[in-house]
A and B are shown apart, each in its own frame.
Chain A
Amino acid sequence: MTAAPLSAWGNLGWPPAAEVRRCGERGAPLPAVAGTLLPYGNGRSYGDSCLNPGGTLLAMRGLDRFIAFDAGSGVLACEAGVLLADILAVFVPRGWFLPVTPGTRYVTVGGAIANDVHGKNHHAAGGFGAQVRSFELLRSDGSRRRCSPTDNADWFAATVGGLGLTGVITQAELQLRRIGGNAIAVHNRRFTGLDEFFAANAEAEHAHEYAVAWIDCLAKTPRGVLMGGNHVDAELPAPRGERNVPLTPPFSCINGLSLRAFNAAYYGKPWPTAQTVHYQPYFYPLDAIGHWNRIYGPRGFYQYQSVVPPAAAREATGEMLAAIAASGQGSFLAVLKNFGARPSPGLLSFPMPGTTLALDFPNHGAATLALFERLDAIVRAAGGRLYPAKDARMPAAMFRAGYPRLAEFTSYVDPKFSSGFWRRVMENN
C-alpha cells in the first residue's frame, strides 16, 4: 500500500512523485535519494511549482512546531511547516497578527517564503519576504546557513521567492504585528471601468492598510467592488465552522452560464459601504469552504496571475480584461490590486511595482491555453511577468523575459533539487 499522492491546488492531473519523505525533525539531515528532491508545503500552489513528478517530495508539514515567542518584540521563531492558520489561532487572541498574509491561511511558513507571497497590504508593507527576519537553509551537502537580510544575504535573496530550489527552509523568524482586536473595518466601494478603479484605489491605499478589488471579468465594461480594510480595536465572534466539498464531482460546476449569473448577482448584492467584520471572512473568504477547488471537476483549473508596471498598467489591464470578456472564459475569482514600491528581497520574487490581476479559469484545454497566449503577449509587451506559484503552463521564454535576475539565481539552486515547474521552464527549449 502507498500513501495518497500529494497534489497541487489546480488538480490538473500532474504525474505523482516517485516517493514522499516526511520531515519530522528539523535537526535531521535530508534523506539520501537517487533522484531529485523538492520541499512540499501545503500544496496551495496551483501548478507544478510545488510538485516533482517522478522525483522525491519532502513533506514539510511534519515540522510544525513553534520554537520561541518574544512577547515584547513580537518576534516568533517557528519551524517551516507551521501553517499561517496555526499562527493566527494562537496569536490573534494575544493581540498579534501576521505582517503579510495571502488569500488563504492554509499555507506553510516555508511555502510563504519560497513564493515571497503577497497580501492585500502590499502597497503598505511589501511582501512576506520583507517581514522575514531570518531562516535556516539546509542544503543537500548537509550545510546549514542562517540567512537574513544581513547574514548570508545572497542566500537570503535567492531563497525568498526561490521556489524551494535552493534547499530546505527548516525554521524561520517572523516579525508579527500588534492588533487591538480580531476585527477589520471594511470599506466597500463599487466601481465601473478601470479609470474609476485606479482613482478609487489610489484613495483606498491612503485610507486603508489593506486594499483589494474583486472584478466581474465577464461584464462588457469592467466593474467590481473595491474592499479597503483596517484593523480596529474590537472583538467579534469567529464565524461558524467551515464547510467542505467532500469529493470531486464528475464534471465542472463552473460554466459560462453559472458564472455570468453569479457575477451579476455578486456585483448587484447589497454592499454596505462600511462594515466591521471578523478578520477571517475579510482575508480568507474562500477558506470557509474546504477543498473548494474540487468544484472544477476532474479536469481541474488554472489560475493566471500577472503583474504589469505602473506606466502600462491601465492599458494592459484593459486589454487583458477585454480579451477575457471576448473569450467568454473567466471566473468568479478575479482579483485586481496594486503592488507598492517597496522592493521585493528575492531574486525571483513575483511582486514588483504595478498592477496585478489574478483569475481562475476552468480547464477547457486548447481554448483556455489559447487565451493564455493572448494574455501572455499583452503582459510581455507591457514589461510584466507571471506568478510561478499560480502557473501551470507558462512558456520558458515568458519566464526568462519576466525574471531578469534568473541567471544570478541559477547559481544558488541546490544540485539535488528540482521541480516540475523548473524542468518545464529551464529544460524544455
Chain B
Amino acid sequence: MQKILIIGATSAIAEAAARQWAARGAALFLVARNAAKLDAIAADLIVRGAAKAGTRVMDATDTAAHAAMLDAAVAALGGIDVALIAHGTLPDQQACAASVELTLHEIDTNGLSVVALATRLANLMEAQGSGSLAVISSVAGDRGRQSNYVYGAAKGMVTRFLQGLRNRLAKKGVQVLTVKPGFVDTPMTAAFRKGALWAKPEQVARGIIAAIDRKKDEVYLPGFWRLIMLIIRHIPERIFKKLSL
C-alpha cells in the first residue's frame, strides 16, 4: 500500500491522480486551503477504495505551517512514499505588470512556496532513504513569454530547483520528478476556448502516476509537448522577442 501526500489536493489534476491512486488502495493525506472541498474529496476517495484519506487545511504560501503539516502527514501515514505538489494559480499577466505586489505574490504561490515544501520533503525523503517527490511545474517554465512570464518565471524556478534536488538525491534512493503539463482543461483554464492541444486532467494524472511508477526524472504531458517545447526553446532570441506568444 502506497503512502501518498498531496499538496494542492483540490486541484483538478491532483484530484484525478488521487482517484487513480485510491482505486489501487493507497493511503492518502490531502492538503489544501478549502476545507469543504477537501472533505468532499476525502469521502469520495474512500468510496473509490483508498485505505485512508486524511486531510489538513493549509495555505501553501504559509511557510511557517509547513513543518507541522509534514509531521501530521507522517503521523497519519507512517512515512511518505510519494509526495505530489500540485497547487498553483494562473496569474493575470497584465494585472501583474501593473502591480509589483501581485507579481511577488504570484511568484510566492507558484515558486517560493513550492521551493519551501520541496526543501522539507527532500530532507525527509533523504533521511528515509526512499521516496518519490513529484512536482507539477509547467511547459510555461521552459521559456519566458509576454503572455505569462510571471507564471513562467515561477515555474522556471521550480524546474531549475528540482534539477538540483534530483542531482543531489540521485544517490540517495529518492526520485525527483518534474511534471510539465501543456494545456489542461481544468478550472484554472476555464476561460479558454479548448482546441486539439488540450488534455483532460485524467489523462495528465495517468501520465504523472506512470512517470512516478517508472522512476522518471521529467515528463511532458501529453508527450508531444516535449517536441513543441524543444522547438520553442531553440528559436533564437532575436526572433523570439518579436513573436506574440
Contact = CB atoms under 8 A, between A and B. Distances in A.
Are A and B genuine complex partners? yes
A2 B193 contact: yes
B143 to A, nearest CB: 22
Nearest to A62: B187
Contacts of A68: 43, 47
Contacts of B47: 66-69, 76, 90
Given A22-B190, A65-B44, A66-B44, 5 more contacts: A1-B193, A3-B194, A27-B36, A65-B40, A68-B47
B206 interface: no
Nearest to B10: A24
B215 interface: no
A397 B190 CA distance: 40
B191 A2 contact: yes
A27 B34 CA distance: 12
B43 A66 contact: yes
B224 interface: no
Interface string A67-82: 1110000001001000
Contacts of B41: 65
Given A66-B47, A69-B47, A26 B40 contact: yes
B37 interface: yes
Interface of B: 23, 34, 36-37, 40-41, 43-44, 47-49, 187, 190-194
21 contacts: A2-B191, A3-B194, A4-B194, A25-B37, A25-B40, A26-B40, A27-B36, A65-B40, A65-B43, A65-B44, A66-B43, A66-B44, A66-B47, A67-B43, A67-B47, A68-B47, A69-B47, A76-B47, A79-B40, A90-B23, A90-B48
B41 to A, nearest CB: 7
A77 to B, nearest CB: 9
Nearest to B36: A27
A1 B37 contact: no
B36 A3 contact: no
B193 A4 contact: yes
Nearest to B40: A65
Interface in A63-117: 65-69, 76, 79, 90
A24 B48 contact: no
B17 to A, nearest CB: 15
B206 to A, nearest CB: 14
Given A65-B44, A69-B47, A90-B48, A22 B193 contact: no
A69 B45 CA distance: 11
Contacts of A90: 23, 47-49
Most buried by A among B34, B41, B190: B190
Q: Which 5 A-B pairs have the closest CB atoms?
A: A66-B47, A65-B44, A66-B44, A69-B47, A65-B40
